[in-house]
């Protein structure tokens, strides 16, 4: 027998996507990506998702990302490196060797076995 979904505490206050809307795939939770990333990298991923355009691209400077999340640049770069390593984001620098540029959220890859 199927369980009935519990009613939310305030059903009259249903969230509706505003004109600019970002989203995160539920597989981040169900496929254990959040566990692999750790809290700081999850925060970076959430910031990139919130700031992303319709292509998943964000143009935030690393310094602004770090300041917004309360991280130092070394921590932020470690998190961005982890997101790149796992194939969750892509990066195109403004110019060769420049650490800032365009960050793009990518479709979630299959989780590692």
pLDDT at 10: 80
With respect to residue 65, please indicate whether it lies within any of the assigned structural domains. Answer: yes
**Domain membership flag for residue 5:** no
Question: Mind listing the pLDDT tens digit for each residue in 20-53?
Answer: 666 788 899 999 999 999 999 999 999 999 998 8
**Domain-embedded: residue 100:** yes
Under 8 Å between Cβ of 55 and 92 = no
Q: What is the CATH number of the domain that holds 69?
A: 1.10.10.10
pLDDT for 88 beyond 90: yes
Give me the domain span that covers residue 49: 40-105
Q: Does some domain include residue 81? A: yes
Which of 76, 84, 91 is CA-nearest to residue 40? 76
């Amino acid at each position: 027998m199927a369980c009935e979904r519990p009613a939310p505490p305030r059903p009259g206050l249903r969230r509706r996507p505003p004109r600019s809307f970002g989203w995160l795939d539920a597989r981040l939770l169900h496929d254990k990506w959040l566990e692999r990333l750790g809290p700081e990298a999850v925060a970076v991923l959430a910031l990139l998702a919130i700031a992303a355009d319709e292509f998943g691209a964000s143009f935030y400077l690393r310094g602004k990302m770090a300041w917004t999340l309360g991280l130092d640049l070394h921590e932020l770069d470690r998190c961005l490196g982890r997101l790149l390593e796992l194939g969750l984001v892509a990066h195109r620098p403004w110019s060769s060797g420049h650490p800032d540029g365009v960050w793009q959220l990518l479709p979630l890859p299959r989780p590692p076995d």
